[in-house]
């Protein structure tokens, strides 16, 4: 199955499309291709909204693309490892390789980013707000595909998959909030000790 066919299948029927990725001849290469296409489209959309001279475009594009590729590769690996660790902690069978493949494939909706940028650019002053709304919708779509990936790999119910997906981010937020409060309290205590 070719890259374009898999992308269209993921858009039309996400569960079937993600399953098709797993049974393809080279699922990891397919996922890498989808991730690269998604990141490419994200950079193109950002470049469409900004004004650069023709001399700057090539250099800026390459620098942004390489930075996005590197940061996403790290995030992709860490995200997969974290969720697979949580799944094994819940004593659930599943393959970290398959989860890695599906998380890469979850960037499929990002191919619509240049369309959102072109639409926003042609709308004038309200275009940035429209781009923000469309980007948020695409981001939610990516999150939906990632939750669907967890559900597919570990055979969880939708509610459990959502809960497991939210748990690391929520706990990180709570820890940051508590750390910030403690830092503020310590700063006030230190400041009060001088007076």
CA angle, residues 160, 164, 166, in degrees to nearest 5: 115
Which candidate, 147, 149, 176, 170, places its Cα nearest to that of 159? 147
Residue 57: what pLDDT?
76
Which candidate, 165, 128, 170, places its Cα nearest to that of 150? 165
Please tell me the pTM assigned to this model.
0.83
Within 13 A of 85's CA, how many CA atoms are on the CB side? Answer: 8
Instruction: Render 159-173 in DSSP notation, one character per residue.
Output: HHHHHHHHHHHHHHH
Name the 3-class secondary structure at 85: helix
For residues 118 and 75, the answer to whether their CB atoms sit within 8 Å is no
The structure tokens listed for 16 are: 């079937």
Per-residue pLDDT of the chain (195 residues; tens, 9 = 90+): 577 888 888 888 998 899 888 888 899 998 999 999 999 999 888 888 877 767 777 778 888 888 988 999 999 999 898 888 888 887 778 888 899 999 999 999 999 999 999 888 888 777 888 889 999 999 999 999 999 999 999 998 999 899 889 988 888 899 999 999 999 999 888 888 776
Which candidate, 105, 101, 91, 185, places its Cα nearest to that of 142? 105
- The DSSP element (H or E) to which 62 belongs, if any, is helix 54-89
d(CA 140, CA 81): 21
Residue 152: what pLDDT?
92
Residue 1: what pLDDT?
52
Residue 109: what pLDDT?
95
């Amino acid at each position: 199955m070719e890259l374009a066919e898999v992308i269209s299948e993921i858009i039309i029927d996400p569960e079937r499309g993600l399953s098709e990725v797993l049974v393809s001849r080279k699922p990891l290469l397919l996922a890498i291709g989808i991730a690269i296409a998604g990141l490419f489209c994200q950079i193109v959309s950002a470049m469409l909204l900004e004004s650069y001279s023709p001399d700057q475009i090539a250099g800026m594009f390459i620098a942004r693309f390489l930075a996005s590729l590197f940061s996403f590769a790290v995030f992709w690996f860490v995200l997969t490892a974290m969720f697979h660790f949580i799944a094994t902690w819940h004593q659930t069978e599943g393959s970290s390789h398959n989860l890695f493949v599906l998380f890469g494939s979850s960037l499929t909706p990002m191919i619509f980013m240049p369309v959102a940028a072109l639409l926003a650019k042609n709308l004038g002053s309200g275009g940035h707000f429209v781009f923000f709304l469309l980007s948020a919708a695409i981001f939610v779509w990516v999150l939906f595909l990632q939750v669907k990936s967890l559900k597919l790999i570990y055979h969880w119910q939708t509610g459990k998959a959502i809960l497991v997906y939210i748990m690391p981010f929520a706990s990180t937020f709570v820890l940051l909030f508590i750390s910030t409060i403690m830092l503020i309290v310590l700063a006030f205590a230190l400041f009060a000790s001088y007076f």
